A = this chain, B = another copy of it.
Amino acid sequence: MSLRYALVGLLAEEAMSGYDLTKRFAVSLAHAWPAQHSQIYPELARLMELGWICQTGSGPRGRKVYAATAEGLTALRDWLTHTDADRTLRHEPILRAFFRWTLDPGEAANQFRADAAAYAATLRELDNLARTLDWESSPPDRSARLALEAGLRLYRVLSEWAAWAADRVDAHAATQPAAGERPDVSASRRRTRQ
């Protein structure tokens, strides 16, 4: 349901088209709730049926401009106040980290450093985005700035974490007798509880 409310929320701030919304999801919302146009257009149709949004204009190339209705805004507020937030974190790079013991330490460290670099790049991107937002402007902009701050802090720690993990792997490898190329997988595989 999150996408549905996100669309209403954006349209409550400012009337715009599906194309505009898609761009919003590709920039400011990219690090909170990414969505493609193929998901957005059908959802807009459903929101029209629900009466949570309405078409307020049109433009060249079949452009349709939508705005949130009072009902839509009520539904959004109801979602925010009367439903539990899903605080799940699902992040593939962390999953990958669990299994890097199957690689030789040099490769594992390289991968952590690649993660660190990628996170740092995203952080710079978000930082530029944050600079375009004013702290003391409109309520929507103030909220956006608070949300953006989460992304800023998250990517900063992810970057630090990955760099730290790379160093740890290197440090441990240095203490090892540099035996085979890879850790002895079969030894741990023999551990079994039937």
Chain A residues within 8 Å of B, Cβ to Cβ:
2, 5-6, 9, 12-16, 20, 28-29, 31-34, 56-59, 65, 67-68, 73, 76-77, 80-81, 85-103, 107, 111, 115, 118-119, 122, 138-140, 142-144, 146-147, 149-151, 153-158, 160-161, 164-165, 168-169, 172, 183, 185, 188-189, 191-194
- The 7 tightest CB contacts between A and B, nearest first, are A101-B139, A9-B99, A32-B94, A97-B147, A101-B143, A15-B192, A57-B194
Which residue of the partner chain, among B80, B94, B102, B139, contacts A150 with CB atoms under 8 Å? B94
9 A–B contact pairs at CB < 8 A? A2-B92, A9-B98, A12-B185, A33-B90, A57-B192, A76-B102, A81-B111, A150-B161, A153-B157
